[in-house]
Amino acid sequence: MWHDRNKPLSWIFVSRMMLIICFLIVVVLTNILIFYVPNPIYQSGVMFLNTNFWLFILIAVIFLAADLFGAFPFPLNLPAPIIRAFGSVFCIAFILLFFQWFDTIYGTTLYQFFWLTSFILVPIVFLIVLASGYYEIMRKLWWQPKLDQEPESETVVFHEETPRQVTQNTSEMKSWEEVGLEFRMMLFDIFHRFRDDIRKK
């Protein structure tokens, strides 16, 4: 869900958990109503829902993880398209199971048709979701204002007395220190952002 990427982490987590809780409520209500609705199609549908219950939960958890990773700043959001692509594959698997159940109820042959096309459809959907996810990440990085581009003349200019090897080693050591500092600051910002979002609730 691309429009949720600018939302706080707490909002994404709570909203997705509310959807999972609503699904659990629906499952409980349908299993209670099975004693009052003698329709065989309804009872078969409830059995289908119970049989694929853990598949529903797995799909919900996969997309929850993808949305949470997608809310992180770069480069922590890189796993989000991969996770979302695997979630799309599980969605196709659920659709195939639904057509299989539909064939047993109404005697159609939809499952055989979609099962044959799934060998082509699954990799295409996986690649489309993966490519679109990374395109969105690259697009946000491309249009993001490059405020951190500052001249680094202070770290490069040295006296003529210092040898070239010493200046190169010191510049490399300082760049690695800056990378480590930026990584620690990024983790610090992520944890404090999540804590501040929880406090606002």
At position 13, the amino acid (one-letter code) is F
**66-70, 169-173, 188-192 — most confident range:** 66-70
Which residues have a Cβ under 8 Å from the Cβ of 91 and sit 6 or more positions away?
59
What's the pLDDT score for residue 21? 92
Whether residue 66 has pLDDT greater than 50: yes
Domain boundary residue, one of 113, 143, 173:
143
How far apart, in whole angstroms, are the C-alpha atoms of residue 18 and residue 40? Answer: 31
Domain match, 54 and 96 both: yes
Whether residue 135 has pLDDT greater than 60: yes
Domain match, 121 and 161 both: no
What's the pLDDT score for residue 35? 85
Please check whether residue 75 is in contact with residue 69, taking contact to mean a CB–CB distance below 8 angstroms: no
Confidence tier at 190 by pLDDT (50, 70, 90): low
φ, ψ dihedrals at 117, nearest 5°: -75, -15
Domain match, 14 and 94 both: yes
Domain match, 72 and 127 both: yes
- Considering the entire predicted model, what is its pTM? 0.62
Domain membership flag for residue 148: no
C-alpha closest to that of 82 among 12, 25, 149, 129: 129
Whether residue 177 has pLDDT greater than 90: no
Give the residue with greater pLDDT, 117 vs 86. 86
C-alpha closest to that of 95 among 117, 75, 128: 117
Domain match, 131 and 169 both: no
Domain membership flag for residue 72: yes
Domain membership flag for residue 9: yes
Tokens standing for residue 189: 């910002």
How far apart, in whole angstroms, are the C-alpha atoms of residue 55 and residue 125? Answer: 19
Domain match, 24 and 63 both: yes
What's the pLDDT score for residue 185? 65
Give the residue with greater pLDDT, 86 vs 190. 86
> What are the pLDDT digits (tens) for 107-116?
777 788 888 8
CA 133 to chain centre: 9
Tokens standing for residue 97: 């199971």
Total tally of structural domains belonging to the chain: 2
Domain match, 128 and 29 both: yes
How far apart, in whole angstroms, are the C-alpha atoms of residue 86 and residue 63? Answer: 9
At position 96, the amino acid (one-letter code) is L
Domain that holds residue 33: 2-143
Domain match, 45 and 124 both: yes
Domain match, 36 and 16 both: yes
Please check whether residue 64 is in contact with residue 16, taking contact to mean a CB–CB distance below 8 angstroms: yes
Domain match, 100 and 182 both: no
Domain match, 107 and 186 both: no
pLDDT mean across residues, the chain: 76
Domain boundary residue, one of 143, 162, 186:
143
Domain boundary residue, one of 100, 116, 143:
143
Vertex 13: Cα angle to 191 and 180 (nearest 5) = 25
Domain membership flag for residue 58: yes
Which residues have a Cβ under 8 Å from the Cβ of 95 and sit 6 or more positions away?
114
Tokens standing for residue 172: 């490399």
Please check whether residue 59 is in contact with residue 94, taking contact to mean a CB–CB distance below 8 angstroms: yes
How far apart, in whole angstroms, are the C-alpha atoms of residue 97 and residue 115? Answer: 10
Domain match, 171 and 75 both: no
